[in-house]
Amino acid sequence: MNKGMIDMRITTRAFIYSVWFCLSVILLRPAQAASHDAISFLSKADAAKVLTLEDDFVSGISQFDMASRMKRETSPSKADYLAFVASQTLDWTQQERVAVTQAFNQLQPKLSALKVVLPQPIQFIKTTGLEEGGAAYTRGQAIILQQKQIDNQQGLPALIAHELLHVFSRFNPEVKQQLYQAIGYYPVGEIAFPTSIAKQKITNPDAPINDFAIRVEHDGKMVWVVPILYSDLPSYSLEKGGEFFDYLEFKFVIVGGDEQPNIAAYDPDNAQIVKVSEFKGFFKQIGRNTNYIIHPEEIIAENFSFLMTGETELKSPKLLHKIEQVFLAQ
């Protein structure tokens, strides 16, 4: 979620908003029609049912998550929050259905070549965007889009490719683990969020669980760290306003120092939180193809989108080959 390397408070926020909002690359592959059952467009009512299901995202949201999305200083109840989310769904026009279908169809040749098997149907939901800061995101096997993204026909294929990776990884945990390991991230089990900032946690619906760590050098020692997102303020401020992106802090918590990844020594009451600039060896593992580095899920999704669009102007082209091989080995 940053652009350029970094002041992780200001530049990161601006980049997060633009990337999490829209990924604009043209897909140059020829179109190939998806099967009739491959995608569906949910009505306003059906979309509301999907977005209010109790999944990892809904069960993991914090007080700040709900208040910032609803623009309240006081914490709403989960019932109030879910009612708010349900009220943001919209019906699709025929023109919008055509635009999304065409973008999805452009991805079919590469999806087939990489042996990417997706759950059917991929559900498309249209919302106002107020429930997630205007960002595209996924829930279950649904991709949620807003008007501006739908209207951006040039960037829509790459955006859908990015979101499809989230759906794929959600339904293919073993392959997801292999993809994460391609960039140095290993499973450690879900960590308890640092106690001092637990109420300020910011939850990404595409990666709601903090359960993968990467090994880096910090203060001359090798340690395992897990990326976390949280608000720089204890609560949403009506005076400051803005979206949750405007409050976002992206840092890491040290969870252990053993050679093998584990969180046995991690204590959320005494968590040591560090910036990416404070350790070494991180970018050697994740590459430098993207600055959208808030979670291994987003790093993989960005690189997957590059694969799908045939992007070649990259700083770490070998990383795409590693990711491609994971898919081909399925």
Per-residue pLDDT tens for 63-108? 999 999 999 999 899 999 999 999 999 999 999 999 999 999 999 9
- HSE (side-chain half, CA atoms, 13 Å) at 47: 26
- Residues 22 and 145: their CA atoms lie apart, in Å, by 10
Nearest in space to 201 (alpha carbons), one of 244, 255, 264: 244
DSSP 286: H
User: Which CA distances in Å does 203 have to 75, 88, 198, 210?
Assistant: 15, 19, 11, 10
* Model confidence at 54: pLDDT above 50: yes
Q: What is the mean pLDDT of the chain?
A: 91
Confidence of residue 33 (pLDDT cuts 50, 70, 90): low
> d(Cα 140, Cα 48) in Å, to the nearest integer?
13
Residue 226 CA to its chain's centroid (Å):
15
* 70 φ, ψ (degrees, to nearest 5): -95, -5
CA 257 vs CA 187, 219, 260, 265, 279: distances in Å:
15, 12, 8, 8, 14
- Cα dihedral sign, 129-135-139-145: positive
